[in-house]
């Protein structure tokens, strides 16, 4: 009987966590999208000039 009540408690707990997990997933997707867009940007010529002066 204890096992069944523990399982029921976990199921209720998991249901409560789902909205938070959804928000976390949405934030993760947004961060990955922003990172991917940043990687696709060109390096500004001024920065390339400065890097060239380091050699």
Round to whole Å and give the CA distance between 53 and 55: 5
Give the residue extent of every domain in the chain. Answer: 1-28
Round to whole Å and give the CA distance between 31 and 29: 5
Q: Kindly tell me if the per-residue pLDDT of 41 is higher than 90.
A: yes
pTM listed for this prediction: 0.49
More confident of the two residues 41 and 9: 41
Q: Kindly tell me if the per-residue pLDDT of 7 is higher than 70.
A: no
């Amino acid at each position: 009987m204890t096992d069944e009540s523990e399982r029921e408690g976990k199921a209720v707990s998991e249901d409560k966590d789902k909205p938070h997990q959804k928000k976390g997933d949405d934030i993760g997707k947004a961060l990955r999208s922003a990172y991917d867009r940043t990687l696709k940007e060109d390096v500004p010529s001024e920065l390339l000039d400065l890097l060239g002066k380091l050699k």
